[in-house]
């Protein structure tokens, strides 16, 4: 078997997955792009296992199974995060996700202004 075709296919799949992660705004599509990259890695592992005679037999296939298990766990956790994000924001766009926590003063105020921004003449 010529290993060039599976390696080129895996490189194309991985490149498509990287493009999907960098360009997509929808969190579900980003998770699908990550799965595409993991499948490309599986293809490389299985191809390398069949073409290279390693000291450990079927080691590439075993690593591919570990990657599949890891991908299943990643999808479970990722979809739980996406569902919680949709419940809180009614949107799953990645651009709207706050990456930092707001300071406590902004959370307490609630009316658009921080709680510490009281007028100068107001009694405390």
Separation of alpha carbons 64 and 48, rounded Å? 11
Dist. CA 19–CA 33, nearest whole Å: 8
Instruction: Look at phi and psi of residue 43 and say left if phi exceeds 0, alpha if psi is from -120 to 50, else beta.
Output: alpha
Least confident of 40-54, 64-78, 100-114: 100-114
- State the DSSP H helix or E strand holding residue 16, giving kind and residue range, or none if neither: helix 4-23
User: What does the alpha-carbon distance between residue 64 and residue 4 come to, in Å, rounded to a whole number?
Assistant: 19
Please give the pLDDT value at position 50: 82
Residue 64 DSSP symbol: H
pLDDT for the residue numbered 63: 83
The reported pLDDT for the residue numbered 116 is 54
The pLDDT tens digits of the residues spanning 81-112 come to 888 888 887 777 777 777 777 766 665 555 55
The pLDDT-based confidence of 52 (bands split at 50, 70, 90) is confident
């Amino acid at each position: 078997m010529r290993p060039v075709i599976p390696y080129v296919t895996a490189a194309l799949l991985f490149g498509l997955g990287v493009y999907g992660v960098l360009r997509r705004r929808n969190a579900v599509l980003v998770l699908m792009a990550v799965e595409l990259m993991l499948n490309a890695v599986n293809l490389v592992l299985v191809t390398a296992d069949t073409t290279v005679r390693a000291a450990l037999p079927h080691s590439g296939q075993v690593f591919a199974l570990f990657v599949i298990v890891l991908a299943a766990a990643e999808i479970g956790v990722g979809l739980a995060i996406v569902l919680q994000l949709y419940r809180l924001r009614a949107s799953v766009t990645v651009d709207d996700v706050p990456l930092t926590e707001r300071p406590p003063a902004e959370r307490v105020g609630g009316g658009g202004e921080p709680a510490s921004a009281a007028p100068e003449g107001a009694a405390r």
